[in-house]
Amino acid sequence: MQNKVYVGNLPYRLTIEELKAHFSPAGTIVDAIIIRDRQTNRSKGFGFVEFETDEMAQKAIEMFHQQELDGRTLVVNIARPKANNNERRFERPVQEAQETTDEAQDDNGDTM
């Protein structure tokens, strides 16, 4: 199902209620969220709107992509599934890992 849209470049003071009201002309909204910084609780300027049907989500893209909201040009696309945590991690280069194991240490932390 592709009934959820990503909405980027949101005004930072926009509320969830305002987001829902803005996108409601496209169809029935099931859920809406604005992503916030964990430490400051401030908006990160993007969010997601989930519609009842795929067609409603497509209509929202057609209606609102590149449209202005409070002086900001919105970016509206079909939301992609969240990446698995393991896919986002960087692997340590093999050479660095090998150098670490080459320097064996005794119990006191001294190089042997």
pTM of the model: 0.74
pLDDT attached to residue 111: 56
Say if 86 falls within a structural domain: no
Q: What does the alpha-carbon distance between residue 40 and residue 17 come to, in Å, rounded to a whole number? A: 20
Assign residue 73 the CATH number of its domain. 3.30.70.330
Number of domains forming the structure of the chain: 1
Q: Which residue has the higher pLDDT, 98 or 33?
A: 33
Say if 89 falls within a structural domain: no
Say if 90 falls within a structural domain: no
- Residue 106 pLDDT greater than 60, yes or no: no
Residue 100's pLDDT band, with cuts at 50, 70 and 90, is very low
pLDDT attached to residue 81: 86
CB 77 within 8 A of CB 65: yes
pLDDT attached to residue 107: 58
Say if 91 falls within a structural domain: no
Residue 15's pLDDT band, with cuts at 50, 70 and 90, is very high
Q: Give the domain extent around 46.
A: 4-81
63-85: per-residue pLDDT in tens?
A: 999 999 999 999 999 999 887 76
In the chain, the amino acid numbered 109 is G
Mean pLDDT of all residues in 37-46: 97
Phi-psi region of 23 (alpha: psi -120 to 50; beta: other; left: phi over 0): alpha
